[in-house]
Amino acid sequence: MLGTRSQVAAEAKVDPMHQFTIEPLFGSQNWELAGYNIAFTNSALWMAIAAAVLTVFVAGGMKRELVPGRWQMAVESFTGFIDDMLEANVGKGGRKYVPYIFSLFMFILFANVLGLLPLGLLGVHPFTFTSHFTVTGVLAVLSFAIVLVVGFWKHGLHFFSLFVPHGTPIWLMWLIPVIELISFMVRPFSLALRLFVAMMAGHVLLEVLSSFVIDSANAGPAWGAMIGLPSFILMIAICALEVLVCGIQAYVFALLTSLYINDAENLH
Amino acid sequence: MDMEAAKLVGAGLAAIGAGMAAIGVGNVFGSFLESALRNPGAADGQQGRLFIGFAAAELLGLLAFVVAMILIFVA
């Protein structure tokens, strides 16, 4: 019994990291830029799909009817949400960042949700590109660059006073700026790392649980009922949790970006 | 100890960090609810801070997950 079980398990080995492999779809032979291959990958494809779905969603709500329909209400509630967030965190000067934060929030949200869709049933495997550090890293560096540009543009070299909080005792002047500088420089990493790991962890967890279901069901009905069924129920619950995490991570990314912009806009 | 075994034991130990982060996240939301029920009027204004605290606590748990993944798949 045990021997056959391990044999079956070995055959149906589920690799939880396989879903994150980047595969070139076309152009892998001769598309090169500065020595790097720039093939159109599944990651790029799903980025394009997310952008297209997002454009359709927003364009559908831009009819500017006096009495908004459901679609327009949905889009307006998102823009209003971002508008309120910037108003609360940055103040009056925050309005001009609404387009950037809105695009960032919606792009991440759509990417996360698209990656979670059960399209595998139809034979199309969604690729969650936010589970890659390169993608989230570029988004984080973009936010960080905006903070730097706005900060130095608006305050000049006075921006460095960000590293000396109000009321710092004079005898701590050698320590506090160093700590503040480190915490400032680490921001893009923590921003990117949080999103990428949260998405990757959820997908790995679902994959591991699904391997429990598959392997235990293959081992026989008794094992399937004992291990497979509870795992399957847990999987459904984790899926619901993942939908929540998709929203929270997109929100946290946008919220932290707006807080960092607040530092650049108003100092502190 | 075998190198492979040591890696897996290390990855298992990293899971302690995930549990610790669970305590932290629970603490954040628990304290928020406790004080929100005392003063519901002020609760909505603090939601941004709630999620900042949540994000900070969660990041450390995710770092533990990264350590485990690096031990299993990269190291």
CB atoms within 10 A of CB A161: 13
Domain boundaries along the sequence of chain A: 43-266
In B, minimum Cα distance to A89 occurs at: B48
Which domain does B9 fall in, by range? 3-74
- From A68, A69, A98, select the one nearest A81 (Cα to Cα): A98
CA distance A257 to A17: 30
CA distance A121 to A108: 24
In B, minimum Cα distance to A204 occurs at: B69
Q: Number of folded domains in chain B? A: 1
Segment A192-208, tens digit of pLDDT: 999 999 999 889 888 88
Please report which residue ranges of A90-168 form alpha helices under DSSP H.
98-116, 133-155
pLDDT at A124 over 90: no
Q: Does A256 touch chain B (CB under 8 A)?
A: yes
- From A249, A62, A264, select the one nearest A150 (Cα to Cα): A264
**A201 vs B65: CB contact, 8 Å cut-off?**
yes
Q: Identify the sign of the CA torsion A116, A121, A126, A128.
A: positive
**A252 vs B55: CB contact, 8 Å cut-off?**
yes
CATH number for the domain spanning B42: value is 1.20.20.10
pLDDT band at A3 (very low <50, low <70, confident <90, very high): very low
pLDDT band at A12 (very low <50, low <70, confident <90, very high): low
Segment A242-262, tens digit of pLDDT: 999 999 999 999 999 999 999
CA distance A198 to B62: 7
In B, minimum Cα distance to A194 occurs at: B59
Q: Does B70 touch chain A (CB under 8 A)?
A: no
Q: Does A198 touch chain B (CB under 8 A)?
A: yes
Segment A23-39, tens digit of pLDDT: 877 766 667 777 777 77
Task: Name A198's Cβ contacts closer than 8 Å, sequence gap at least 6.
Answer: A245, A249, B58, B62
Percent of chain A with pLDDT over 70: 93
**B52 vs A256: CB contact, 8 Å cut-off?**
yes
Q: Which residues pair with A264 in a beta bridge?
A: none
Match 């080995």 to its residue by tokens: A13
Q: Are the C-beta atoms of residues A240 and A214 closer than 8 Å to each other?
A: no
State residue B60's pLDDT score: 87
Q: Does A183 touch chain B (CB under 8 A)?
A: no
* Mean pLDDT calculated for residue range A93-109: 93
Segment B5-52, tens digit of pLDDT: 999 999 999 999 989 999 999 999 999 999 999 999 988 888 888 988
**B66 vs A193: CB contact, 8 Å cut-off?**
yes
